[in-house]
Structure 1
Amino acid sequence: MVPMAELHCHIEGAAQPALVERQAAKYGADTSAFIRDGRYVWHDFTSFLAAYDAASALFRSEEDYAALAETYLTGLARDGALYAEIFVSPDHAREAGLTPQAYLAGLAAGIARARAVAGIEARMIVIGVRHLGAAAVEAAARLAAGCGHPLVTGFGMAGDERAGRMADFARAFAIAREAGLGITVHAGELAGWQSVADALDHVAPARIGHGVRAIENPDLVRRIAAEGAVLECCPGSNVALSIYPDFAAHPFPALREAGCRVTLNADDPPYFWTSLAREYALAERHFGLGPADLIALTRTALEAAFVDEATRRRLLARLATAPAAAAG
């Protein structure tokens, strides 16, 4: 079992359909519009977001979110993950009637339970939702900067990448950066290479969520490699959303060979019929990576994690002494 680490997963998007159906029964809700035969139903990015929002609305208490975080993280640990970062969305919590403070407390309780049971380390990245507008993203940044929660170590932006200009969100990222939070931003997924360039120009993130459309501009690929921004790649998600027709067409190997720092992630695993373990297996099967290559990807993720240096050293030491790593 290759030790793994994940930097790009939306916690609401990690809820398995069976868990969402239990939540629906708890609250007397109907899931037939977005879950059928135990699977999420959607046909394009817009309908995916609608299904995502409907499922997220069924998590309404601290304990709901604690159970969600614990369930996801213990599952990751069983598959061999040492570390995970989860994207957390205060906007979804508010829509469900939960205060941001209660939302974070619930997730933190789940993280603590998973750590106690399975030994997995985890942190939270607060995200603003791009298609809600610059003011909403700035409000999320202020929350992240001011909450003082020790497990909130980063800030990012997700949502519909086609909404607004990156420059509109620069102030939000400045607020987060001034508070010492790690910076990541979704770019180069639905939109082309220019969205990645805009992110680098206006936000200067340490990491870019997805970023794969950078392959469309060789100069940009060279810039990413030179500047060292880490790409949070999610091949299974990209193929599920038809950004690429299949894994043979995916640019992950080309980005890696060009010297870009790449990692593997599951994004919204059950929506895209994947998992972190499957992403590692796909990279082995379709990208020709061996155990040593996969361990190197995990090392890159740990090096890029939004954690204090003492925690990073412990995680890297665990990686070095893991049986698969030692064998590699």
Structure 2
Amino acid sequence: MTAAIAKAELHCHIEGAIVPSLARAQADKYGVDISPFIRDDRYVWDDFTSFLAAYDAAAGLFRCEEDYALLAETYLRELAEAGAIYSEIFVSPDHARSAGLAPEAYLDGLGAGMERARAAYGIESRMIVVGVRHFGANAVAGAARFAATRPHRLVTGFGMAGDERSGRVADFADAFDIARDGGLAITIHAGELCGADSVRDALNHIRPARIGHGVRAIEDRALVDRLAKAGTVLEVCPGSNIALKVFPDFESHPFTALAQAGVRLTLNSDDPPFFHTSLAREYETASRHFGLNDDALRAVTRTAIEAAFVDEETRRTLVTRI
């Protein structure tokens, strides 16, 4: 059991952390029929496209600052109760606008929930603004410009999420330059639905400190060696990978092979209720299927803290809590 292990998470989409019970409460609040995407307290989807549709539908149930404060506090409380000391959440101004909320109000709401969770449960957290890849290069650049204004003190990074099959990585390079020039740390989703070329393109065109997923790099040994040599951290989400059929089972997952090759890895839940997982379950998976003992799991947490988008004083404080 890993309950006593200090945990940290770098890769979770906050709208993807909406548990069905909370979605149902929000649906009752706004009079929305959720039967098309939630049945028997489970999200209904069967491929990546329908997953995105269910995700967007759930996100649409959050429409004001207090809704988002409740979402952030609820998720961070769950993490803290599982032993997490740190969390980074992906936040999407495009989803805020879709819900009719100004991005600044969206961040203020999330930030309020994060502050409440820190005060009540001792969990530190930060926000990473993401552009949505399948919305196009202009939309991602717009998200980067917004992020670069540093609209909330808890915004410390910029990334890109969405459908990896949409567009070329090079199409989005300007957006990442805007964010980097704004002093934000950089991550990008790559090597999940698409193969090793996706990871290579991210390294070549974006130069990220971290890569979300990145597991398809295993298809190219030279690329794996490059990741190890550069010290690029992968935000690995095993439960998500299995749910989306990136790999057929945990025995086929490359976590162990990547670790043995010297790649720096972290454990993350991605969109936990959609994939029937949690950060606690990801640590259990690493113990049961990847053979990580308690010391190895703590080393994973240390890697996450070392790669976290925080100031050095916060990092040092977090390291003492592992």
* TM bucket, shorter chain: over 0.9
1:147 positional shift:
3.2
Q: How many residues align?
A: 319
1:157 counterpart letter in structure 2: M
Give the structure 2 partner of residue 268 of structure 1. Answer: 271
Alignment partner for residue 282 of structure 2, among 279, 283, 298?
279
SS in 2 for 1:29: coil
Greater mean alpha carbon deviation, residues 144-153 or residues 7-16: 144-153
Tell whether the 8 Å contact from 2:6 to 2:321 is kept in structure 1 after alignment. no
Return 5+ residue gaps in structure 1 as ranges: 320-328
List structure 1 segments (4+ residues) > 4 angstroms apart after TM superposition. none
The 1-side partners of 2:89 and 2:117 are apart by: 13
Q: 1:158-189 deviations in whole A, cap 9, x for unaligned?
A: 00000000000000000111111110000000
The 2-side partners of 1:148 and 1:162 are apart by: 30
Give the structure 2 partner of residue 133 of structure 1. Answer: 136
The 2-side partners of 1:256 and 1:318 are apart by: 24
Q: 1:113-138 deviations in whole A, cap 9, x for unaligned?
A: 00010000000000000000000000
1:223 positional shift:
0.3
1:114 counterpart letter in structure 2: A
Q: CA RMSD in A?
A: 0.5
Give the structure 2 partner of residue 201 of structure 1. Answer: 204
SS in 2 for 1:318: coil
Q: 1:169-217 deviations in whole A, cap 9, x for unaligned?
A: 0000001111111100000000000000000000000000000000000
The 1-side partners of 2:265 and 2:214 are apart by: 10
Q: 1:253-309 deviations in whole A, cap 9, x for unaligned?
A: 000010000000000000000000000000000000100000000000000000000
Residue 7 of structure 2 is aligned to residue 16 of structure 1: no
1:150 positional shift:
1.2
The 1-side partners of 2:153 and 2:25 are apart by: 31
2:245 counterpart letter in structure 1: S
Alignment partner for residue 93 of structure 2, among 90, 95, 116?
90
1:50 positional shift:
0.2
Q: 1:45-78 deviations in whole A, cap 9, x for unaligned?
A: 0000000000100100000000000000011000
The 1-side partners of 2:185 and 2:233 are apart by: 12
Residue 256 of structure 2 is aligned to residue 253 of structure 1: yes
Give the structure 1 partner of residue 10 of structure 2. Answer: 7
1:100 counterpart letter in structure 2: P
The 2-side partners of 1:122 and 1:155 are apart by: 15
Give the structure 2 partner of residue 229 of structure 1. Answer: 232
After TM superposition, list the pairs within 5 Å mapping 1:50-199 onto structure 2: 50-199=53-202
1:35 positional shift:
0.3
Tell whether the 8 Å contact from 2:236 to 2:265 is kept in structure 1 after alignment. yes
1:130 counterpart letter in structure 2: R
Give the structure 1 partner of residue 44 of structure 2. Answer: 41
Greater mean alpha carbon deviation, residues 249-258 or residues 145-154: 145-154
TM (norm. structure 1) is 0.97
Alignment partner for residue 301 of structure 1, among 295, 300, 304?
304
Give the structure 2 partner of residue 325 of structure 1. Answer: none
1:149 positional shift:
1.7
1:148 positional shift:
3.9
The 1-side partners of 2:232 and 2:292 are apart by: 22
Alignment partner for residue 321 of structure 2, among 308, 318, 323?
318
Return 5+ residue gaps in structure 2 as ranges: none
The 1-side partners of 2:245 and 2:312 are apart by: 38
